[in-house]
Amino acid sequence: MKNKPYPLNNVPQINNLKEMVIYCAKTYKDSTVFQFKQNNEIIKISFQKFLDDINSLGTAFNNCGLKNEKIALIAENSYEWILSYFAVISGGNVIVPIDPEMSNAQMKQIIDKTKISTIICSEKYFEKIQNVSNDFSIQQIIVLETDIPAFITEGKALIYEGEKFFIDYNINNNECNVIIYTSGTTSQPKGVMLSHKNLASDAVASIKNVFFGGTSILVLPLYHTFAFIGVLCVMLSGKTISINKNLKDFKEDLILYKPQNLILVPMIIESLYKQIWIQAKKKKQEGILNTLICINKFFLKIGIDLRHILFSKIHKSFGGNLEFIVSGGSSIPDQYIKGFRLLGIQILNGYGISECSPVVTVNRNYYYRDKSVGQVLEGVQVKIEDDEILVKGDIVFSGYYQDSIETKQAFQNGWFKTGDMGYLDNDGFLYITGRKKYIIVLSNGKNISPEELENYFYELDYIKEALVYQKDDIIEAEVYFEENKDVYKSQMEQDLLTINSLLPAYKNIKKVNIREIEFPKTSTNKIKRG
């Protein structure tokens, strides 16, 4: 098990996403880029077919008047989702991916603000989209399952007849090609404008840090930039993306596709780890698992790695080939990183924000720091001013859509102000300490990061959610756990004493309130604050 610096992975320079698809088709040709279940079959799409489908669909879109338009994409994960995205942005249009589970009011707000002309949606959300679009002059609604195949057939015929406008269209690398609406925990969503250059630069820099050596499963919803950049990374690496259309099928898909890597968020990673122990408890094998972990620790100390043998049953439940999981989004408690590593699965913790396309830092396959979110990507600059993380580079967005005030406030002398707090160590690893706007300021002038204190609660196995806040100049916490509430209430009192003993007096948590239900969440499953 290595943990030392080594050269960055060799990756070609790619300037836009159209160029990326063409490069992949020329380089990887008939290798499979996407696979998915359909009517009890596994459908495989090659790199070359993907390019051909993009050209056909894009040509048909262009022929029906979709030029220099803003087009919303509202659907669950699918090959057609990815195909539509590339067809839209490769012909000079702007794509606006929207969370399909948004309320009608939220969708209407985005459609109105962005001046959407066309909506691409799945059958599942067609009725909802019809109701939403009735208040606007939407030119057309395109249904993924039925209309996209017809458009592809039409586009093929047009290309055969000599239509080359879409194929020959020259991309302006710096022009906005996607607007991502963020779902803040306290404020209204803002439209993050990203260019081809932003996304291509982030994908290239990311895989210089992380080597994707095999099949991956797409689990996270594609309307989030982190999920989409994962698709780009695996694609540019010449590997296969297995599309999970329903999280309920995730365990089945692990066995079916046998992934070498996964791109997930902390919530899913934590759930997967807890399930390992829940299953062990159900089978009355907790003691055996703990014994195997002790044996494993001993052999690792003398340089012998037996993890795939000792924990073979666990590895089989993940398909048998899983080597690492890239984690993005909020920070992940260190116990899960170390826990998975002891089982033989590496967690590569990273940091990103939509405004940065989104990856800024990530731990490497064999070079990492616990509690860190990794090293800064090549070509990206990071500095810390007043404890805040500032970023500069080709990955940084141009601004918020039709919001010059917020855009101006987001930058300082050309540096994007993330709003996140942290520090860099001597080896260039970044550590996140909290969110600047959440900082609690006591009457004595002391500053406290609530996330720092919340992490102590997340170290407790029975805590599912925690929120720390200020009330009447004292620090309080609110926690939620799913089961055995009466048992854990008394346990919580003891654990609170332990937590406070580790903290300076001014950070002591004076009271813990037990919630009966989960906290309200944003669309990215972050707890709403305020």
Beta-ladder partners of 393 = 380
Tokens representing residue 237 in the block: 């690496």
pTM of the entire predicted model: 0.88
Q: What letter would DSSP give residue 394?
A: T
| CATH topology match: 17-171 vs 247-433 | yes
**pLDDT (0 to 100) of residue 530:** 65
Largest interatomic CA distance in the chain? 77
Burial of 52 (0-12, 13-18, 19+ CB in 10 A): middle
Coil, strand or helix at 210: coil
Amino acid at 210: V
Per-domain boundaries in the chain: 17-171, 247-433, 439-514
3-state secondary structure 457-515: HHCCCCCCEEEEEEECCEEEEEEECCCCHHHHHHHHHHHHHHHHHCCCHHHCEEEEEEC
Q: Which two tokens stand for residue 393?
A: 């580079």
* Distance separating alpha carbons of residues 50 and 280, to the nearest angstrom: 43
In whole angstroms, what is the distance from residue 171 CA to residue 57 CA? 17
Please compute, for residue 236, the number of CA atoms within 13 A of its CA located in the half-sphere on the CB side: 30
- Unique residue bearing structure tokens 């490497």: 364
The H or E element that residue 414 is part of is none
What DSSP string runs through 355-372?
GGSSEEEE--SS---TT-
Could you say which architecture CATH assigns to the domain 247-433? Answer: 3-Layer(aba) Sandwich (3.40)
The Cβ-side half-sphere exposure at 481, using a 13 Å CA radius, reads 19
In angstroms, rounded to a whole number, what is the distance separating the alpha carbons of residues 394 and 218? 26
∠ CA 319-260-364, nearest 5°, is 140
At residue 330, the pLDDT reads: 72
144-160 and 79-89 are packed helices; what angle lies between their axes, rounded to 10 degrees?
50
Contact 86, 92 (CB under 8 A): no
| Burial state string for 162-192 with b = 16 or more CB within 10 A and e = fewer than 16 | ebeebbeeebebeebbbbbbbbbbeeebbbb
Domain 439-514 part of CATH 3.30.300.30: yes
DSSP string for 93-141: -EEEE--TTS-HHHHHHHHHHHT--EEEE-GGGHHHHHHHHTTTT--EE
Which of 150, 148, 154, 110 is CA-nearest to residue 129?
Answer: 110
Report the alpha-carbon distance of residue 152 to residue 169 in Å, rounded.
18
Q: What is the CATH number of domain 17-171?
A: 3.40.50.980
d(C-alpha 277, C-alpha 274), whole Å: 5
CB 496, CB 480: distance < 8 Å: no
**Amino acid at site 286:** E
- What pLDDT is recorded for position 444? 66
Q: What is the pLDDT of residue 186?
A: 44
Nearest to 391 by CA among 371, 376, 405, 402: 376
Rg (CA), the chain: 24
Per-residue pLDDT of the chain (530 residues; tens, 9 = 90+): 679 999 999 999 999 999 999 999 999 999 999 999 999 899 999 999 999 999 999 999 999 999 999 999 999 999 999 999 999 999 999 999 999 988 888 899 999 999 999 999 999 999 999 988 877 778 899 999 999 999 999 999 999 999 999 999 999 999 999 999 986 544 577 999 999 999 999 999 999 999 999 999 999 999 999 999 999 999 999 999 999 988 899 999 999 999 999 999 988 999 999 999 999 999 999 999 999 999 999 999 999 999 999 999 999 999 999 999 999 877 788 889 999 999 999 999 999 999 999 999 999 999 999 999 999 999 999 999 999 999 999 999 999 999 999 999 999 999 999 999 999 999 999 999 888 878 887 766 677 888 888 888 988 888 888 999 888 878 999 999 877 677 778 888 889 999 999 888 888 999 999 898 888 877 666 788 86
Instruction: Note whether 383 and 19 are within 8 A (CB).
Output: no
CA gap 347, 125 in Å, rounded: 35
Please count the other Cβ atoms lying within 10 Å of the Cβ belonging to residue 274. 14
Q: How does DSSP classify residue 526?
A: P
Kindly state the helix (H) or strand (E) to which residue 348 belongs, with its residue range. Answer: strand 346-352
- Which residues, at least 6 apart from 410, have a Cβ–Cβ distance to it below 8 Å? 355, 399, 400, 416, 417
